[in-house]
Structure 1
């Protein structure tokens, strides 16, 4: 989840087991998906990335396989066998590792109620330009179809920080046209702006409500989407102060390693 997913997703091989859960729930604590999330979420099928970023909804192992977040699935009890087999390899050749993994991995499919089977309606709603339009579209779908998924999705959106929703939507849209490195540098800037309290105290309030006092009743500031100005969102993407340089990635070290 969250930053932990960000550490894992860039890996060449990503094994999901029966206990694996994926989510980027940052909007529910007044933050935004980071650690590369705006890049890899924006490259998922359709507008699944926007849905996951805004709602913080979870994916199970079968869904992770279906959308490409995981490369392999294995039963949890086989994980020690995989670790043992990989430990005996004397090469880092990807084809050899792939062949080793295939011996222990299984095929799995998401059930018919999964969000990956709702790409058409998901794209219809989450491809829209603003959070307000996304919510309006979901409300129309809920009224016309009485679909429980639409109602559940609306509830998730209305629990999140309004400011975080707008910031996260813009972030995902930017990630679609950036390199992974560019997304990391931008997200670092956004994260420092978000925790500075100069724009809003939503991050601290979200942590209080979800993790400290656990009353699940955050008092967001601003409290509604209508009160979130473009200037507030812009501030998340603005340059840092002279005393706080941008993130500098160790690209030379990485190139030497490769």
Structure 2
């Protein structure tokens, strides 16, 4: 497959993926497509599976490239020894292992948006609750009546918290804290993101993912520590 065909395969599941990102992952040694005599990249199905492995680890576990590279090396070693079980299983958001779907026709747009009805159905939120969540800025539509994958993650998490007795108004502080943290991280990645070099912009995106992962670890540890008294531990 050409790099464009690989991008078409990945976009439905990873809508933020770009050609620059694929080139960046190649430069980092995570995938090594074959080159034609004229210099064009040619990817195999194994290369595509490897890219899915990397992108899933970044999206679902916020693993830095260093750790993903170690996971891939372990997987490669097991494959070479005749064992097929990977250390990290690249699965989709619902737990499915991504298949090898046909390459979309040239120019066919990847489906990466959800309607309001789909968002409500998949997240478990009621329509009136979604309206309130939107009013507080927790969920933001990318276009009138349309939402992205982050909106689904947020809406699903909010629905779960509400089932435990929280109210939407209790989440104002979470929104404010996230905004402050986003502003802080933006200051760190902006110098790279402003550069015209695609590799620098890809590095900015990778840095942002690592910051998000570290922030999640810190937040979870702080909440666990704060709950020890209530749990009697």
TM surpasses 0.5 = no
Scaled to the shorter chain, the TM-score interval is under 0.3
Q: Normalising by the residue count of structure 1, what TM-score does the alignment of the two structures yield?
A: 0.20
